[in-house]
Amino acid sequence: MERESFMNAKNLNRFKKIKGIIALEKYLLPAPETIFIFDFEKQEKEIDVFIKGRDYLMIRSDKENDADFCPHNLTCPKNEAKDFIEGLTAENYAVILQECIPWKEDKISGNVLTLRKDLLIELMKGGPLTLLNRDGQVDACVKVRRGKPKKIECSGEKIISKKDLDDILRLVEHLPPYKIAEFSIGPDWLYFWQIIDDKTAKKLETAC
Contacts of 107 (CB under 8 A, 6+ apart): 126, 127, 184, 185, 186, 187
- Cβ closest to other proteins, residue 86 vs residue 173: 173
CB 194 → other proteins: shortest distance, Å?
13
CB 164 → other proteins: shortest distance, Å?
18
Q: CB of 112 within 8 A of CB of 168?
A: yes
- Cβ closest to other proteins, residue 24 vs residue 113: 113
- Cβ closest to other proteins, residue 51 vs residue 204: 204
Task: Spell out where 41-189 has E strands.
Answer: 56-62, 73-77, 94-99, 108-114, 118-125, 140-145, 152-156, 179-185
CB 133 → other proteins: shortest distance, Å?
5
- Cβ closest to other proteins, residue 57 vs residue 127: 127
CB 129 → other proteins: shortest distance, Å?
10
CB 176 → other proteins: shortest distance, Å?
16
Note the residues at the interface with other proteins (CB under 8 A): 69, 111, 113, 120, 122, 132-138, 141, 156, 180, 198, 200-201, 203-204, 206-208
- Cβ closest to other proteins, residue 75 vs residue 130: 130
Taking the C-alpha atoms of residue 169 and residue 121, their distance in angstroms, rounded to an integer, is 10
Phi and psi angles of residue 76, each rounded to the nearest 5 degrees, phi first:
-85, 125
Please choose, from the candidates 95, 155, 160, the residue with its C-alpha nearest in 3D space to the C-alpha of residue 126: 160
CA 62 to chain centre: 13
